Amino acid sequence: MSAVAAPASAVERLCQDLADYEVMYQLGLEQRDCIAREDLEGLAASFQRTRQLMDRIRLRQEGSPGPGREPGEATQREAVRRLLGRLQELRRDNEAAVQGLLARTREEVRQFQQGRRALRGYQKAGLSEARFIDHVR
């Protein structure tokens, strides 16, 4: 990933951060849809894009001075804070949905394994065609 040039002002940096966080929120909605569809490939691709955005934000923040007193900075900082709260809530919801998907998948695997054990048991019993007690079909 290429280095991100630091914006000229803290307000510009906050505007860019806000734009990236908004994209991350949209990706969170996309992840929610992927979880509902059980689209693991789409979910992985979305996580990859989210990680790239997080890296870009981190690089931008590392290259900039701390909070200042520029006009509009407090407003932008509060907008970022609000969006981060919504993003965190969405991530919590997505995590709960993934946990539910994992629990359902484990139950399906358990049922599949139980069916395989039952099938092996029937095969070992040597059951052939069904017959009445007098051995007439």
Joined tokens for residue 136: 């007439």
- Rounded to the nearest 10°, the torsion over CA 115, 118, 124, 129 is -90
For position 1, what pLDDT does the model report? 47
- pTM comes to 0.73
pLDDT for res 116: 86
Pairwise CA distance, residues 69 & 78, whole Å:
14
Q: If you search the block for the tokens 């139950």, which residue do you land on?
A: 107
CB 80 within 8 A of CB 17: yes
Q: What is the pLDDT of residues 62-108, one digit of tens each?
A: 877 666 677 888 899 999 999 999 999 999 999 999 999 999 999 99
DSSP state of 8: S
